[in-house]
């Protein structure tokens, strides 16, 4: 049996996010296109001789007890499969926290993948995803990765053709947006623009980058941008600096821009990095 494992936990962005309606249980029915990107956290998981779970991170404000989703994922696997051994998990965070990039969900997914390998549990991807949804609606996608259509509350996933090659500029203005508050303020009757997700899927399949980006849309911008006008300013600046399109990811506040020219992408990266030192800025690519 393996004694340790190192894993990358990749962030995701929403190429399209539409809310179909609200269910009787309070959850929202969604239709989204999710995309993994190269930006990632790093996890190192070690089996220990005692039965305890220990989590350590490079960010002092993150909890390392039962309220940490990595801890929850490890505890869930230990309980389901009656594992006696302990675990030490070192989490090196690079993905901004509470930023619409599934940073916590992808760490949980990596933990599930890692423990499946460490303990040779032989769980299929489908079995891992069934476990993952107990931790959060984005965890199944983070287990799957790549490009996918997400439906239901986010747990119904259909893998898609990989997104065309491009450069992705990610800018996080370094404030948190509570997802529950955004959904609570959302009024479906006030949404005027909805994306054509079927057309987006068609353009992705045809490797038509410019056609695909014309169909990017996020209905949650109707709430988050109104609350935080800075998000619109970042979007506008990205377009001014050569992005094909720019959109908010998830409930925000992170904004990403798609570039087909590396030179323009680097110029935009340095603009945001130098002129706004409080922002978290990354230049990355689609990951599959």
Only one residue has tokens 């959109």, namely 247
124: tokens are 């299929």
Catalytic residue among 78, 138, 235, 237: 138
The gap between the terminal CA atoms of the chain, to the nearest Å, is 28
Other CB atoms within a 10 A radius of the CB of residue 79 amount to 9
3-state helix, strand and coil shares in percent for the chain, rounded to the nearest 5: 35, 30, 35
Which residues have a Cβ under 8 Å from the Cβ of 219 and sit 6 or more positions away? Answer: 17, 18, 19, 186, 191, 193, 194
- CA-wise closest residue to 2 among 88, 94, 113, 115: 115
Only one residue has tokens 């922002």, namely 279
- Tell me, yes or no, if 138 is annotated catalytic: yes
- Tell me, yes or no, if 156 is annotated catalytic: no
Catalytic residue among 12, 78, 235, 237: 12
Q: Which of the residues are catalytic?
A: 12, 138
């Amino acid at each position: 049996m393996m004694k340790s494992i190192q894993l990358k936990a990749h962030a995701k962005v929403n190429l399209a996010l539409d809310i179909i309606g609200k269910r009787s249980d309070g959850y929202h029915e969604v239709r989204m296109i999710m995309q993994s990107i190269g930006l990632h956290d790093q996890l190192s998981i070690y089996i220990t001789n005692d039965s305890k779970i220990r989590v350590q991170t490079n960010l002092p404000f993150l909890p390392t007890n039962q309220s940490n989703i990595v801890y929850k994922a490890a505890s869930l696997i230990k309980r389901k499969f009656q594992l006696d051994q302990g675990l030490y998990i070192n989490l090196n965070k690079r993905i901004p926290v509470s930023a619409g990039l599934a940073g916590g969900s992808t760490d949980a997914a990596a933990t599930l993948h890692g423990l499946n390998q460490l303990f040779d549990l032989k769980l299929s991807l489908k079995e891992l995803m069934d476990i993952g949804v107990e931790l959060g609606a984005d965890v199944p996608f983070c287990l799957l990765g790549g490009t996918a259509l997400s439906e239901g509350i986010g747990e119904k996933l259909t893998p898609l053709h990989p997104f065309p090659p491009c450069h992705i500029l990610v800018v996080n203005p370094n404030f948190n947006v509570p997802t529950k508050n955004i959904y609570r303020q959302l009024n479906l009757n006030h949404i005027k623009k909805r994306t054509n997700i079927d057309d987006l899927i068609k353009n992705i399949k045809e490797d038509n980058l410019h056609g695909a980006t014309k169909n990017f849309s996020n209905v949650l911008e109707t709430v988050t941008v109104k609350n935080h006008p800075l998000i619109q300013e970042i979007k506008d600046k990205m377009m001014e600096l050569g992005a094909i399109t720019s959109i908010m990811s998830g409930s925000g506040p992170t904004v990403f821009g798609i570039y087909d020219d590396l030179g323009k992408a680097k110029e935009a990266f340095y603009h945001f990095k130098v002129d706004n030192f409080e922002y978290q800025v990354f230049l990355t690519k689609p990951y599959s």
